[in-house]
Amino acid sequence: MSEWCIHCSVKRTLSSARLPLDPQFHFKSEELDIRKAWYFSDMDLVRRLLRGALGFGVVSTLVFSTVAFAERWMYQNLTVPGAYVLWTVLFLVASPVAFMPLIPMTATRRMFPVWFNMAFLAYCALWCAGWFLSPNTLGEVVGCIAGSIALAGVLVACRYVQSLPVAGVVLAICNVLGYFAGGYLNAKLGGPAGMLSWGLLFGAGTGAGIGAILTFKPKEAQTNA
């Protein structure tokens, strides 16, 4: 009888000694789940970057093709401001199509083309203001940064994007990099090939930035994404 009691006591002791391992295993499982969540979040960001870069890159290249092949005619027949207005309209018509697949299926999705066009119009207005006030590199930099912040601000106000400081910085960096990388190639290649390269890189950089900031969705949009 005494041996049996000792055996039971030792068994209970060993069982209680294993108990702390269970919560530790539970915590490891939660840590694994968190890592999986971050992984899928990263994959979602990459997908949106690529989708935005590809979609807006195509749109921008099409618009810049009119500059590459018809700029002189447009300046002569539409005047310089008229040509810029036409290029803005072309962007406004085609751009929402590039980003609609990135918008979650919510009640506000159908209004995205309207609000995006308002956001892009704000970008164009500030970029043109920077360029016409200072038609040099400084004007381009100021226009790109101010326009990017304005675009991000409208999307934040319409609750398609969360956190203006983060979205503004991300979009400004992508926009400036794409714009000036394209400008560098345009200066190196010259002619239609240079202008088309500028359009492609500008669109890819800016599109990647817009795709990235559309990942920063408000909480109600995230639950329906």
Q: Is 141 helix (H, G, I), strand (E, B) or coil?
A: helix
Q: What is the largest CA-CA distance in the chain?
A: 110
Cα gap 119→210, rounded to integer Å:
11
pLDDT in tens, the chain (225 residues): 554 454 555 445 444 444 444 444 444 444 444 344 333 355 678 888 999 999 999 999 999 999 999 999 999 999 998 998 999 899 999 999 999 988 877 767 889 999 999 999 999 999 999 998 999 999 999 999 999 999 999 999 988 888 899 999 999 999 999 999 999 999 999 999 999 999 999 999 999 999 999 876 655 444 444
Domain ranges, ordered by start, for the chain: 48-100+112-224
Q: What is the per-residue DSSP string for 14-74?
A: HHHHHTTHHHHHHHHHHHHHHHHHHHHHHHHHHHHHHHHHHHHHHHHHHHHHHHHHHHHHH
Residue 189: both structure tokens together: 């290649």
Residue 36: both structure tokens together: 């999986």
Report angle CA 95, 62, 178 to the nearest 5 degrees: 70
pLDDT of residue 28: 44
User: What DSSP state is assigned to residue 105?
Assistant: S
* 213, 205 contact by CB (below 8 A): no
* 57, 200 contact by CB (below 8 A): yes
* 204, 41 contact by CB (below 8 A): no
Question: Would you call 92 exposed, middle or buried from its count of C-beta atoms within 10 A (0-12, 13-18, 19+)?
Answer: middle
Tell me the three-class secondary structure of 97-122, residue by residue: HHHHHHCCCCCCHHHHHHHHHHHHHH
pLDDT of residue 33: 42
* 100, 113 contact by CB (below 8 A): yes
* 225, 41 contact by CB (below 8 A): no
pTM of the model: 0.76
Type of residue numbered 26: H
Cα gap 209→203, rounded to integer Å:
10
